[in-house]
Amino acid sequence: MKSFFLLLNVISFCFCISFEIQNNSATININDEILENPFSGGINYARIAWYDWDQDNDVDLFVLDEDLHFKYFENIGNQETYSFILEEHPINNLSGMSWFHLDDLNGDGVIDLATQSTLDPSHVMFFEFNGEEFEYTSLLYQDTGQYLISASVMTPTFADIDNDGDFDFFTGNINGTVNYYNNIGVADGLPVFEFISSFWQNILIVGPSQSRHGASAIRFIDLDGDDDLDLAWGDYFQRSLYIIWNIGNVESPMMDPENFTYQYPQNDPIYTSGQNMPSFSDLDGDGDMDLFITVLGGDGPIQLNNNFLMYQNTGSSTSPVYELSTENFLGSLDLFSDVVPAFVDIDNDGALDFFVGQDYTTETIPTQGRIFYFNNENLNQLTYTLEESEFLGSEVGLSLSPEFIDIDSDGDYDLFIGEYNGKINIYRNDGNSSNPIYSSIGYLNDIDLGFFSIPEFCDIDNDSDYDLFIGNYNGEIYFYENIGDSQSYNFIESTLDIDVDIDLSRSAPRLIDLDYDNDFDLIVGTATSGVVVYWNIGDQEQNHFVRDECLEIPYFGNNIKPSIIDIDEDGILDIIVGLSTGGFLHYQMTPFSDVNYDYSVDISDVILIINDILDQSGTQLNCLADTNHDGNLDILDILLIVGNIINN
C-alpha cells in the first residue's frame, strides 16, 4: 500500500481541470440598485449584434469589446421577458477584430460572419458557420477584383437598401461621407459587390463646429414606419445620434441630408462621450424596435461604465418614442477598467467580503485608482453591498492590486497594495479583526518592478511565515523569500524553479494547492493568454513548477487577475477573474480528478477511463482521461483516481 501512494505522488503532477461559468451566482447592491448578474464581465467599447442563435424565438446577444474578443449571451427568457446569461459559444474562439456583422450574407440559409481582417484592417473577412465553428472562407471582393474596403476606425453595416433580397455594404469615411457597395450576386458562395459611390446620397456629417468629423458607427432601420430604411449615425464628435431620414421608397432610397435629426431620440436625447453605436431589436416582443447604444468613445470624457444603454420604445413601430430604461443593460458590475478582486472576511462575521482594486477612474483629476469595499452579510446567498467606494481614501495611486494577509500574526488582516509604479504599498492594521484601522507605513523594502506590481503571499517553503510572489507588466514573476518569522517579516529576492519560461505579459500570480498534494500550485492571470496553470511537482521544501498544456478554460478577456477561493463554502473552488473591461467573471472549478465533470470523484470516473482505454484504436486520446498526461491511457490513470477516491 505504501508503494502505491508513492506511485501516486510521482504521477500526480499533471491533471486536466476545467472551469464552468457560473451565472447569477451573486447579487450586488450599489446605492440601492441591485445588480443581479454582476459577474458577467464589464463593458468598455463594445460592438454588439442580435441574433436568435438557439432558434427559440427570442434574440440572443453577441458582444465584441475593446479586448477584441467575443462574448455570447444567451437569452433564457422569452419573447416578452428577456434574461441574458454568459455562455460558451463557437464565436468565442475568434479574436483580433474591431467590428462584426452576423447574417446570412450569401443567401444559403446558413449564418455568416463578416468582420475586420486581422492582417489588413481595411479589408473584410467572410466566415461561414459549418455546424461547429465559424470557418474562414475568404476576403470579400468587388466585381473588379479589388477588395471590399472599410476604414479601420469605422463600424460599417450591411443592409438591403434597395429591397432586392440581398445585403448591400455601407461604411463611413473620415471626411463624413458614406461609401456604398451594391450587392450584385453570389460567386463561389461569396457575395460580390459593386462600388457605387464614396459620397452616397450626398450625406455629409461634420462635427459641432461644422468643420470636423471622426469615426462613425452606422445602422439602417425603418424608424418612421414607411417601410424604407432610415440611417442612424453615431459620430466621434456627436454625443447623441444623427438620424438621416429616407424620403424615397423601399426600392429607391432618397436620403434627406438637409433636414436630418441632430439629436436622437428627440424626446430624450442620448448624451455620452461620443461615437455611439446604435442597434435595434424588438427585445420585449411588443412589435416595435427598442434602441440600444454602446459607447465607443469620442471627443468627450472617457466613458468606461454606464455605456450599454437601452432605450425602450414606449410608442409604436410607426411612431416610436424612446425612453431610457437602463445605462447598464447586462446588469454587470463595471468599475471602469483593469480590476483586481480580493476576498477576505474583513469584519470577522464568517462571510467573505469583496474588495476590488481599480486601475483608475475618470471621476477624479488627476486620475487615481480606488479600492471598493463590498460587504457580505450572508455567505449562503452571496449578497454584496457597496460600503465604500474609496477604501483608504482617494489618493492611493494607480492600478491597485490589494492583497490582505496577517503578516504580523496579530489576528487581523494587514493590506499590501501593488501599484502602477511597480512598488508595494503597505497598510498596517492598527485595529482588530472586526474593526480594521489602516495606517500607511510606506513601500515594501526597495522593491520596484517597473510597472503593474501584483503581489501574492503564501508559505511556499513551509516555515510558518508568508513568502511573497509578485507579477509585473513584462510577465515576469519575482519570488521573495521571507527570512524573518511570522511576527517580523524580512523579504529577500530568491529564485523560482519553473520548467517553462513565462513569456506572458501583466502576470497576476496566485498560489493554491489545486491537486491536494500538500504543496502550492501556481495559477497566473495574463494580459492576452488567459489563465495559465503550473503544477508543483516538487514538495514543500523543493518546489518545481511545470506548465499544464491541457487546461480547459474559456477565454473571455484581457488582463486577467484571478482570485481563487471557495466563496460559497460548497467544497468546490471558485475562480473570480477581473478583466480589462472593468468587470468580473465567475467560474467553478471541477474537483480534482473529476473526469466526467459531475462534481464528484467516484467510481464513474474510473469507469470512464477504463472505457477510453478499451476504445483507443483509431481514436484520439481523451485529454481528461489521461490524468497523468503521459500520452497514454493506461493503469496509471486508473490508479491515480482510485488513490484520490481513497484519500477522500
By three-state DSSP, how is residue 623 classified? coil
Confidence of residue 612 (pLDDT cuts 50, 70, 90): confident
pLDDT at 470 over 90: yes
Rounded Cα–Cα distance for residues 180 and 172 (Å): 9
Give the range among 226-230, 353-357, 421-425, 552-556 with minimum mean pLDDT.
552-556
Rounded Cα–Cα distance for residues 282 and 284 (Å): 6
Contacts of 243 by beta carbon, 8 Å cutoff, 6+ apart = 223, 230, 231, 232, 233, 260, 261, 264
Q: H-helix or E-strand containing 639? A: helix 635-647
Confidence of residue 6 (pLDDT cuts 50, 70, 90): very low
Task: Quote the pLDDT of residue 618.
Answer: 42
Task: Quote the pLDDT of residue 211.
Answer: 75
C-beta of residue 525 within 8 angstroms of C-beta of residue 579: no
Query: Which CA distances in Å does 233 have to 183, 239, 279, 424?
Result: 22, 11, 10, 46
Rounded Cα–Cα distance for residues 586 and 58 (Å): 25
Task: Quote the pLDDT of residue 375.
Answer: 97
Rounded Cα–Cα distance for residues 530 and 372 (Å): 24
Query: Which CA distances in Å does 90 have to 27, 53, 135, 248?
Result: 28, 11, 10, 40
Confidence of residue 623 (pLDDT cuts 50, 70, 90): low
Angle at 49 between CA 46 and CA 50, to 5 degrees: 140
The per-residue pLDDT for range 426-455, each reduced to its tens digit, is 999 999 999 999 999 999 988 999 999 999
Q: Region 26-38: what's the mean pLDDT?
A: 94
Query: Which CA distances in Å does 506 have to 81, 493, 599, 640?
Result: 41, 20, 32, 35
Grid coordinates representing 636 are 496509471
pLDDT at 165 over 60: yes
Query: Biggest alpha carbon distance in the chain?
Result: 88
Closest CA to 216 of 232, 230, 193, 228: 232
Task: Quote the pLDDT of residue 609.
Answer: 76
User: HSE (CB half, 13 Å, CA atoms) of 580?
Assistant: 18
* Cβ atoms within 10 Å of 19's Cβ, excluding its own: 20
Rounded to the nearest 5°, which phi and psi values hold at 47? -95, 140
Confidence of residue 636 (pLDDT cuts 50, 70, 90): confident
Task: Quote the pLDDT of residue 207.
Answer: 76
In a 10 Å sphere around its CB, with 0-12 CB exposed, 13-18 middle and 19+ buried, how is residue 263 labelled? middle
Say which amino acid occupies 46: A
| 115 Cα distance to chain centroid | 19
- Report the chain's mean pLDDT, rounded to a whole number: 89
C-beta of residue 205 within 8 angstroms of C-beta of residue 232: no
Q: Residues of the chain with pLDDT > 70: what percent?
A: 90
Grid coordinates representing 390 are 474609496
Q: Region 277-289: what's the mean pLDDT?
A: 94
In a 10 Å sphere around its CB, with 0-12 CB exposed, 13-18 middle and 19+ buried, how is residue 370 labelled? buried
The per-residue pLDDT for range 94-133, each reduced to its tens digit, is 989 999 999 999 999 999 999 999 899 999 999 999 999 9
pLDDT at 195 over 90: yes
Rounded Cα–Cα distance for residues 329 and 352 (Å): 28
C-beta of residue 111 within 8 angstroms of C-beta of residue 90: no
Rounded Cα–Cα distance for residues 243 and 125 (Å): 29
Rounded Cα–Cα distance for residues 466 and 403 (Å): 12
Task: Quote the pLDDT of residue 377.
Answer: 83
Say which amino acid occupies 277: M
Q: Region 7-27: what's the mean pLDDT?
A: 63
Q: H-helix or E-strand containing 4? A: helix 2-11
